[in-house]
């Protein structure tokens, strides 16, 4: 069935037409081709190509190396981050993080995926000693973080393989998964278990456990919630005890992100 989104925008301003096209691409679970977008947006191919070129020139879209497929570019994801950081739900999200920290006694953060990196949408630090101070807006590599591996594990397989192919898989510690096959094996476990660990994979002495935050359809992982602490306080042996609190908070956070 063809979408009426672009049809509805045809009578509107150019800005709304461009926004409607971005919406369509953002909602797709893979990077679409021009032919797929022509079908979905219900626009003539020359018209659609003109809009795609304009959005690409504005750094809101980018073409993949194959030259055929399109995905959101850094300017679009930066805008999405700014909107999420400052919309009315941001106060409620911060309060949820504060409750998690009070309950579990460790720092926690809310993250989103931007390209090959995980960005901290919000963070609340615990009062406990020996903590690592990250800030809102901090970035960490996807392959070396609990949240990043969660995002990768929850992607459709084809998209996950494509993203892994773009990663440098830099080794940060002795525990970093710097081999693509090792990373894929870990992602399979994460997808099955529904949670992810960072066992001193980015910083030595730091352990993290992350859970997914899904969209309203329960299909796409749109964010992740992670607990972070020194290894003497958090490890594989006791992280499971924290999961019920994290999952309950993840459900509450999902409502604020709709």
Q: How many CA atoms lie within 13 A of 152 on its CB side?
A: 31
Is residue 104 within 8 A of residue 129, CB to CB? The reply is: no
Q: What is the pLDDT of residue 6?
A: 55
CATH level 2 (architecture), domain 77-256: 2-Layer Sandwich (3.30)
Q: What is the CATH number of domain 5-72?
A: 1.10.10.10
Stretch(es) of the chain classified as CATH 3.30.450.40 = 77-256
Stretch(es) of the chain classified as CATH 1.10.10.10 = 5-72
Claim: this prediction has a pTM higher than 0.85: no
Going residue by residue through the chain, which has 258 residues, state the pLDDT in tens, using 9 for 90 and above: 444 455 554 455 777 888 888 888 887 767 888 888 988 888 888 888 888 998 988 888 888 888 888 888 878 877 777 777 677 778 899 999 999 999 999 999 999 988 788 999 999 999 877 667 677 888 899 999 999 999 999 998 988 998 898 889 999 999 999 999 999 999 999 999 999 999 999 999 999 999 999 988 888 899 999 999 999 999 999 999 999 999 999 999 999 987
Please tell me the distance from the alpha carbon of residue 235 to that of residue 117, in angstroms, as a whole number: 24
Q: Got the DSSP string for 8-31?
A: HHHTS-HHHHHHHHHHHHHHSSS-
């Amino acid at each position: 069935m063809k979408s009426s989104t672009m049809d509805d925008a045809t009578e509107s301003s150019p800005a709304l037409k461009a926004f409607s096209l971005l919406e369509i691409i953002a909602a797709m679970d893979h990077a679409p081709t021009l032919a797929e977008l022509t079908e979905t947006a219900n626009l003539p191919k020359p018209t659609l190509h003109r809009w795609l070129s304009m959005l690409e020139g504005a750094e809101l879209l980018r073409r993949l190396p194959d030259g055929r497929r399109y995905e959101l570019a850094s300017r679009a994801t930066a805008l999405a981050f700014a909107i999420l950081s400052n919309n009315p739900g941001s106060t409620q999200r911060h309060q949820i993080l504060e409750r998690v920290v009070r309950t579990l006694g460790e720092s926690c953060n809310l993250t989103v995926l931007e390209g090959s990196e995980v960005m901290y949408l919000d963070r609340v630090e615990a009062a406990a000693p020996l903590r690592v101070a990250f800030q809102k807006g901090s970035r960490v590599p996807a392959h070396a973080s609990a949240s990043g591996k969660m995002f990768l594990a929850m992607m459709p397989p084809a998209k996950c393989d494509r993203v892994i192919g773009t990663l440098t898989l830099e080794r940060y510690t002795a525990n970093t998964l710097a081999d693509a096959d090792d990373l894929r094996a870990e992602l399979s476990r994460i997808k099955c278990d529904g949670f992810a660990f960072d066992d001193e994979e980015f910083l030595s002495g730091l352990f993290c456990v992350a859970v997914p935050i899904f969209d309203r359809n329960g299909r796409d992982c749109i964010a992740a919630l992670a607990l972070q602490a020194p290894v003497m306080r958090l490890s594989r042996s006791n992280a499971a005890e924290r999961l019920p609190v994290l999952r309950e908070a993840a459900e509450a956070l999902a409502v604020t992100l709709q």
